[in-house]
Chains A and B, each alone.
Chain A
Amino acid sequence: MIEDKNGQKVLAWDFPTRAFKWTLVLLVVSAWASNKFGASMPGWHKWTGYAILVLVVFRILWGFVGGSTARFVNFAAGPGAALSYGLALLQGRSPKYLGHNPLGGAMVLALIVMLGAQAVLGLYAGDEDRLIIDGPLARTVGDSAVAFAARWHHRVFDLLKILIALHILANLYYAFVKREPLIKGMATGYKPAATYVDQAQAQAGSPMAALACLIAALVIVFGGVLALGGRF
């Protein structure tokens, strides 16, 4: 239920933030599927990785200039705040947040950082003979660096699976146990009007700013790889 008893709803997530989020979900699935089923199509996995890196860079930039609930200053909480929110959650007296709550914010930051790390590792990773698949920057480093990147590309994926599972479980918990429509909110952008402790309603980011962040992210990722001597 998006609307409260009086049918009031408020903006929680602007369009660029939601578009980022759900595109990233599809790309993460594509990254997994291309490894699992795309052995004969190395390009599928590689271009998925570039796209994920572009989105991660976009989200970092958007975290400074985007909509109010997307900005890091409005949701990046210290471990103390995350811990006390977690304790309040367990006791069933957690305050409601329009944007990310302190625990959710920590998860979002962890996912962004780890997906970024995973994509960067992929740029340098390759199979040990560099015959089947390798990232565009593998050619700029030695075999031991490629092996290191490949090893950590596997390990970070294992970590990501745990983070993603926790992230999904937490959202299902809010949706079905706490009856807070977080998933629907991220889909539609709106949440029921209520007493939120962080913001009463979100200020949408400017579409032009979003476009500028996307262009900047494309330039940083593709320009950066080329500048470092990579080839696509």
Chain B
Amino acid sequence: MMKKMLLAAAVVAMASSAIAAGDPIADRKDIFKGWGDATKPNAGALKGEAPFDLAKAQAALKAYSDGVKKLPALFPDTSKTGGKTEALPSIWENKAKFEGIFAKLDKDATAALAAIKDEASFKAEFPKVLGNCKACHDDFREKK
């Protein structure tokens, strides 16, 4: 009896979390869009086209770490197509590699957050974090 109730509770919890998650394609696109917006001033600073702003660098790094924890759950098997997704089928064929990049991004962003104190450390550390963007886009994002 106890077991059945627990099971029922688990089913309800899973169902409600699925509802709360809503549309995984829209949700993950929101995260990526947020990352892009947060990255923009920092990419400009790296190129010397915008002033270095420590707060903006830290905000971007926190956005990466926060978002990347949610992302692995936002690529269920049911979300391979639709919603103008740019996700390539290779994601579901190489799930371990795909999620490995997320784990590395989380680690690198956390490390960079601790290491970046000024413009010099920003220029040394921030590109290491962005390298994960390229690694993932190369293999898993549709090319236009």
Are A39 and B135 also in contact (CB < 8 A) when A129-B36, A131-B36, A131-B130 are?
A: yes
Q: Mark A5-43, 1 if CB is under 8 A from B, else 0.
A: 000000000000000000000000000000000011110
Chain A residues 123 to 155 lying within 8 A of chain B, measured CB to CB, are 127-133, 139, 147, 150-151, 154
Task: State whether the Cβ of B137 lies closer than 8 Å to any Cβ in chain A.
Answer: yes
Contact present for B143 and A151 (CB under 8 Å): yes
| Stretch of B4-12, B41-49, B89-97 lying at the A interface | B41-49
Bound form: Cα–Cα A132–B128 in Å: 11
Contact present for B127 and A42 (CB under 8 Å): yes
Task: State whether the Cβ of A231 lies closer than 8 Å to any Cβ in chain B.
Answer: yes
Would you call the interface of chain B mostly helix, strand, loop, or mixed?
Answer: helix
Contact partner of A131 (CB less than 8 A), chosen from B40, B128, B144, is B40
Using CB atoms, name the residue of chain A closest to B125. Answer: A40
Provide the residues of chain B in CB contact with A139, threshold 8 Å.
49
Bound form: Cα–Cα A130–B50 in Å: 14
CB of A9 to closest CB in B, whole Å: 48
Report the number of A-B residue pairs with Cβ-Cβ less than 8 Å: 43
Provide the residues of chain A in CB contact with B83, threshold 8 Å.
none
Chain A residues 27 to 84 lying within 8 A of chain B, measured CB to CB, are 39-42
Task: State whether the Cβ of B117 lies closer than 8 Å to any Cβ in chain A.
Answer: no
Chain B residues 86 to 111 lying within 8 A of chain A, measured CB to CB, are none
Using CB atoms, name the residue of chain A closest to B141. Answer: A128
Bound form: Cα–Cα A129–B130 in Å: 12
Provide the residues of chain B in CB contact with A151, threshold 8 Å.
143-144
CB of A72 to closest CB in B, whole Å: 36
CB of A41 to closest CB in B, whole Å: 7
**Of listed B49, B129, B134, B135, residue having the most chain A CB within 10 A:** B134
Provide the residues of chain B in CB contact with A154, threshold 8 Å.
143
Contact present for A40 and B40 (CB under 8 Å): no
Contact present for B47 and A231 (CB under 8 Å): yes
Contact present for A40 and B144 (CB under 8 Å): no
Task: State whether the Cβ of B131 lies closer than 8 Å to any Cβ in chain A.
Answer: yes
Provide the residues of chain A in CB contact with B58, threshold 8 Å.
none
CB of A140 to closest CB in B, whole Å: 13
Contact present for B127 and A40 (CB under 8 Å): yes
Are A132 and B144 also in contact (CB < 8 A) when A127-B137, A231-B47, A231-B48 are?
A: no
Give me the interface of A with B, judged by CB distance under 8 Å.
39-42, 127-133, 139, 147, 150-151, 154, 231
List 12 contacting pairs A-B, 8 Å CB cutoff, sorted by A.
Answer: A39-B131, A40-B128, A40-B130, A127-B134, A127-B137, A129-B39, A131-B43, A132-B130, A133-B134, A139-B49, A147-B144, A231-B47
